[in-house]
Every structure is written in C-alpha cells, then in structure tokens.
A and B are shown apart, each in its own frame.
Chain A
Amino acid sequence: MDALDLARWQFGITTVYHFLFVPLTIGLSVIVASLQTAWYRTGKHEYLQATKFFGKLFLINFAMGVVTGIVQEFQFGMNWSEYSRFVGDVFGAPLAMEALLAFFLESTFIGLWIFGWDKLPRKIHLATIWAAAIGTNLSAYFILAANAWMRHPVGYQVNPETGRAELTDIWAVLANDQAWSTYLHTVAGSFIAAGLFVVAVSAFKLMRARFHGDTGTPGQAPHPSEHGLFRKTLRAGLAVTALAGILVAFSGHHQAQLMAQDEPMKLASAEALWEDEDGAGFSIFAVGDVVDGRNHINIQIPHLLSILATNSLDGNVQGINDVQERYEAQFGPGSYVPNVPVIYWSFRLMMGFGLAGVAVGFIGLWLTRRGRLPKHRWMYWAAILGLPAALAANICGWILTEMGRQPWTVVGELLTAASVSPGVSLTEVALSLALFTLVYGVLAVIEAGLLWRYVKAGPTHVVPPQDDDSDEDRDAPVPAFVY
C-alpha cells in the first residue's frame, strides 16, 4: 500500500458514499415538486400530506448529499494535485459553473422551500421547490460533463511549454456526446432509484395495513386515511421507475457504443473479450485468467455484444490483448489493462440489479392495475427490495465507469499514477481515509435510523388528517418545516 492506493480508496469510498444520496436527491426533488404541484392544482389534502411526508424523507437524504458533496469539490486539489494542475483549465470550468449556476440555486431555494411554507404565496412557494429541483438536475449535467471529458477529452490542446491541457472550445466540452449520453443514463438511473424509494415506502405501509395482525408492532401501519394516498404514491413510483427504465435501456445502449469508440479497453474488460472479434457474443458468465489473457469458461449470447456496441450483427469489437498492443505502440510500454474481474462483474451486477429494479416497475404497474393490490406478502417485499437493488446498480455503474478508465485519469493523456499529490504523505491519507470512513459510517447509521423513524410515523404525523372532504381549510396557512 502506498499513498496512491489509499488516495484511490479514499476517492472511491467518498464518491460511492456520496452517490448513495445523489440519485435519490435528483429524483425525489422532482417527485416532491410534482406532488406539491398536484396539491396546488387540486387542493386535495392527501397531496399535501404526501408532499410533506416525502418532503421530509427527501430532506433527511438531501442533507447527506450536500455535505458529502463538499468533499468532492475539494479532494481533487487535496489528493490529486498533479491531476488538478494538468486539467484545471478544462475541468475546473464546468466545476465552477456547477457551483455558480446550480449549487446556489439548489441551496438558496431549498432554504426558501423548507422555511417558506407560511411566508410565501402558494404559487411562489411551489416555484421554490421546482427551482431547487432544477438546480439539482443542472448540477448533475456540469459534473457529468467534467467526468465525460476525462473519458473522452475534447475541446482542448496540451500546451507544449507548460505541459498542461488548455481549453480551446467550451461548447465542445459541454456538448461532448459522452456528457449528454452519460447525463441521460445517470439521471434515468437516479429516477429509477427515487421511483423505487417511493415504491418501497408505499409498499411497506400498504403491507403493514394488509398484514396488520401478525406484525405485533403498532404504529407502523398507515392511518386509515392514508391508505388511498399510498396507493397513489405506489402507482406513481412504479410509473416513474418504468418510464426511467425505458430511458436507462436506450441510453445504456448508446453508452456502450460510445465506450466501444472512446474506451475500447473498458468495453473489452467489461466483457472479458481478450481478442478482437467480428460478431462478438455477449458474455453471461465467464471465468478467466488475467495473466494468460484468456477465458476458461465463457457462456455467451452470440452476436449480442456486436449489436450492442456497433448496431451491427458482425461489427468488430476490440479485445483486451489487442488494445494493449496498440496502446503500447501508441503510449509506450506499460500495462493498460484495468482490473478485469471487477469491471466484468460490476457491469453484470449493474445490469442485473438495474433490470430487477425496472422489472419491479413494470410488473408492479400490471399488478396494481385498476386499483388492485398484490395479495401476497412476498410481492411487497420484492417491491421494497427494489430500492437497494437500484442503489446497487447505480454504484456498480460508477465502479465500471471509474475503474474501467484505469490506468488513466484522462484517457490517453494522464495516468492515475501521475495524478496523485506528491506532497501528501501516506500517513496523512491514511488518517483522512480512516476518519472519513468512520464518520461516514456513523452518519449512515443515523440517517437510516431517522428515515425508518419517519417512515414508521407516516404522513398523519407530519400533517394531521382532515376530518371531512370539505375544502374549508384550503387557504389555512401550512406550517413550515423548521429546525
């Protein structure tokens, strides 16, 4: 272990952790804004309850996403100073824009939304949650444009005098095909996670109502007045998941094609494809030998990889050993092969977990058609487990993206080993890694405990139920969330 390894572990741990909260923030901000819009339009009390209930869960999650995001902005300079020095011209610009255009919008308007319930006219207050949701989704675009540049650098040249990358075309960086393609794929994945969050919470409450007798723990079933609410949010969550599932599949296909063009080594590793091949098959299960550069076992669906990567039955897909040879000829001696087993399995787990989550969306929509509810308890559990599956799929996607880019930080330009901070010692990184892990671990337990507590308490706890269906109190002030 040297400082480089620990710095990579720290980046991995802090980023994966950050990304447990980010997809939920991206999706839930829009879902909560939509619920509030439904309340604004119809005046129905249950939409207010749903807005405040899911809003509270959203805020518990949002806080974690914000504070762990600060680390992301700083650790490029702290742990990756030579990377920062090399790319700052190009990579810093979208980061600065993210802060100025998106973070300010998100954080200012979330404050207005939390505290503004009884201070702002309803229309303006509704606009604040939409502004925060737009800020959140805008921030995703800028950071993904920066990340896309590392995988497919465009709009720059390396100044021979300074040895640094210099920006030549900001539009090329912002309109990078990897940027918008990754954005669609990531945001779709986020909406699957957020949709399944709503599904999991609703399914849990409905399950407790239905199988009330054998839980033995009172207070977890929804208040009778909430039953209709959770049926609606269950359907809404399933619909969001299914729609985002369609988008994730199409954008994923596009991502594979871009990967074949820009990062052939990543695609080859994700498929354990060792030699260039026309009409390559899609691997389902492989046991390989990394040292020998071949597979012992490889079960494939014929031609599928070529279709996925090139849109043609017999398209050529490059293999690990051949890309290695070409890279050695181009960049000099060294290994350009990432950790193949990790890449191969993270790709399969991403698709497996992701498809399982999307399946919950489609099957769930069918099972809940025309006001039905599933009869079997395991079906509710399957819906609840969709949430961890979706989060795992998001994480596996990032492991594939980031570890598959190795040994590069900027493909073809800068190696990870040359990116690390030379002045930061092993002891310093070990200390920060240990403390980040400890604090993050403790906060995760607290966050999960709080979410559980508020899910159990339910919407009537946040907004009391209405006695009758009259709209008498439509204009009564709604108390704000306060600290």
Chain B
Amino acid sequence: MDLPTLWFAAIAVLWIGYFVLEGFDFGVGILLPFLGKTNTDRRVMINAIGPVWDGNEVWVLTAGGAMFAAFPAWYASLFSGFYLPLFLVLLALIVRGVAFEYRGKVDSVQWRARWDQAIFWGSAIPALLWGVAFANIVRGVPMDADHIVTANLLDLLNPYALLGGLTTLSLFTLHGAMFLSLKTGGEVRLQARRAVPMIALVAVPAAAGFLLWTQVSYGTTWTLPLVAIAALTLVAAVALALRGREGWSFTATATTIAVATVVLFGSLFPNVLPSTTNPAYSLTVENAASADYTLSVMTWVAVIFLPVVLGYQSWSYWVFRKRITREHIEPTLVPAGRPGDA
C-alpha cells in the first residue's frame, strides 16, 4: 500500500472512531427531551456521557487535522465547498459543549430548559449534517478544474444526501438508546429500551436504503459484503436489544456504524472528492495528497501515539464503567440565584 492510500485508510479510521464514539453521545443528546421526563433523569443521561463526550469529540478534530496534513487539497476544497453546513455544525458543537458544562450551574428551571434545547439541537444538527455531507462526498459535487467547489446549498440537499442525513440521524439516535440501556439503570434504562423499536422503525429502512443506494450507484465489489454485514448487524442489534442483551446490541450498532463508514470510504476510493462537472476534475488520493515526506512523518507519529491515545481513552471508559442511576445523582451545589430564578 502506498502512503497516500495508507492515509486515506487512516482518515477513514479516524472518522469511524468519531462516528462510533460521538455517535452515541449525539444520540443521548437527541433522546434527552424524550427519555428524560424529570430533571434527575436528564441528569442521569447527561452524566452517563459526561466524562467521555469531550474526548469523543477530539476524534473529529484529529480527522480534520489529518486531512489538512495528509490531503491539503481535499481539506481545502471540502471545507470551503461545504461552508454553510460546516458552519452550522460548528455552531451546534459550540452551544452543545457549553450546555453540558453550564446546564447544572444555576438552579433554575428556565436556565436548564434552555440548555436542554441547546443539547438537543446541538446534537441533532451535526448528527443529520454529517450524513448529508458524507453522502455528498461520495456522490460528488460540482467542482471546477482548479478544484473549487461551485455547489450551492440546494445542490447539497439532493435526495441521496437527505437519505444519508436521515440515516446518520436515526442510526446515532439508536446507538444512543443502546448506550443508555447499557450504561444507566432504573427509569432511563427502561425508557431507552422501549425507545429502541420505535427508532429502529426509521433507522433500519433508512440505513438499508441508503447503503443499498450507495452500493448500486457508487459501490465496488468488496463493499457489497460490507453492506450486507452492516444491514445484518443493524437488524441483529435491534433483535438483541429486544432480548435485553444490552452489551451485545451496543456492540452491534457500533459495528453497523463502523462498517457503514467503511462502505462510504470504500465507495469513494480512489477519489476523495469526485467532481460532477467533469470526472477529470475530481480530487483523488493521488492528486490531493501531501508529499511522501510529510506522510511518512505523520505515519511515525500515528504509529507511536495512536495506541497510547487508545490506551488511555479505553482506561477512561473502564473507570466510568458502572451504570448511572438516580441514586448516583446528588443534589447539585449551586449558588443561590436571584429571587424568581427557581
């Protein structure tokens, strides 16, 4: 495997890490208003992802940084070409991150309700838009000979991309429900398990349809079995959840998300951003890559440090392995507010 291909694979791995990990914390954020009927239950949900969401989010920063270093032309064309969707993702991630930290810091119903809104929209918007973006990457965008994307917003909102968005939105929500039934106890766990079939009613057909469409229009020989695996693990995830096998069902949705991401990257290869204006204008693994020296430096850095990162992130999941229940939620210590705040 030459270095640009290796880095194409490495970037796929980083996005897999991001979608599998932040996928469930997006899902928890989306489910917050639906499963958390009381403040205590909402706090159970938020504290279940509390120690890990920030670390999960770094996967996208690393993916972005790796694209910048390994495929500057891809990073440049993609990020400027998808300007408004990425801007919305950024705004969403900003208010969401602040919301987790600030929500519990003032004892006021109105204060919490506003941050709950921020957590919901801050999770739902990126969960939807990442799917829209990746579908458009696979499908290709209008792009000229200088690799400048000339798409407008409506070009990006085509049926295939919208189905992609619905897929990530519903799949991450399902993944979040699996996570909550695995990591919480009591009412939230029950509610999460009850929500699984309802979410699956959207997620299974959306994901199956999207992956099939991807395979038929853009897929290659080796992505076909992967589409089957993604579909099977998704169905298995729902079946396992209904039987109360919470660990296995979470593993299964994680596998679906990982394999579906491989299908997208596999369908894209050897392009990194196809041009629908003229296939000759497409950005490819070869013409978008950095020189070999940069790639070999980055390979050494990744080989040495990625295992270290995986090590301490796994340890952090181990430390917080216990289920969170209402009993774990202590009354928060917040300074007395102004009169009328509560």
Contact = CB atoms under 8 A, between A and B. Distances in A.
Interface stretch (A33-41, A114-122, A185-193): A114-122
A478 interface: no
Contacts of B53: 111
B206 interface: no
Interface string A434-468: 01100100010010001001101100011000000
Contacts of A462: 333
Interface stretch (B160-168, B238-246, B258-266, B304-312): B304-312
A219 B103 CA distance: 23
Interface stretch (B71-79, B187-195, B221-229): B71-79
Contacts of A242: none
Nearest to B89: A74
Contact of A95 (B47, B68, B71, B320): B68
B50 A111 contact: yes
Given A111-B52, A482-B47, A84 B94 contact: no
B213 interface: no
A317 B36 CA distance: 67
A269 to B, nearest CB: 30
Interface string B40-67: 0001001100111111011001101111
Nearest to A112: B316
Nearest to B293: A167
Interface in A76-98: 76-79, 81-82, 84-93, 95-98
A60 B101 contact: yes
Nearest to B322: A119
Contact of A97 (B104, B301, B337): B301
Contact of A482 (B65, B150, B332, B337): B332
Interface stretch (A23-31, A65-73, A257-265): A65-73
Contacts of B52: 111
A139 to B, nearest CB: 10
A96 B62 contact: yes
B201 interface: no
Contacts of B57: 70, 107
A101 B306 CA distance: 9
Interface string A10-48: 000000000000000000000000000000000000000
B6 interface: no
A164 interface: yes
Contacts of B73: 85, 88
B102 interface: yes
A107 B55 contact: yes
Given A78-B87, A85-B72, A116 B319 contact: yes
Interface residues of A, number: 78
Interface in A117-152: 119-120
A115 B51 CA distance: 6
B95 A482 contact: no
Contacts of A311: none
B199 interface: no
B148 interface: yes
B65 A98 contact: yes
B70 interface: yes
B145 interface: no
Contact of A88 (B61, B69, B106, B305): B69
Contact of B65 (A81, A95, A421, A483): A95
A96 B98 contact: no
A164 B72 contact: yes
B342 to A, nearest CB: 14
A108 B333 CA distance: 24
B296 to A, nearest CB: 10
B58 A428 contact: no
Contact of B298 (A93, A164, A168, A457): A93
A166 B294 contact: yes
**Shortest beta-carbon contacts, A-B, top 5:** A88-B72, A77-B79, A92-B69, A457-B335, A92-B68
Interface of A: 59-60, 62-64, 66-68, 70-71, 73-74, 76-79, 81-82, 84-93, 95-101, 103-105, 107-112, 114-116, 119-120, 159, 164, 166-168, 170, 219, 421-424, 428, 431-432, 435-436, 439, 443, 446, 450, 453-454, 456-457, 461-462, 479, 482-483
27 contacts: A60-B101, A66-B97, A76-B68, A78-B83, A78-B86, A84-B76, A85-B72, A86-B72, A88-B71, A88-B290, A89-B294, A92-B72, A93-B69, A93-B297, A96-B298, A99-B62, A103-B62, A104-B55, A108-B316, A112-B51, A115-B47, A423-B149, A423-B150, A432-B87, A439-B94, A453-B335, A483-B50
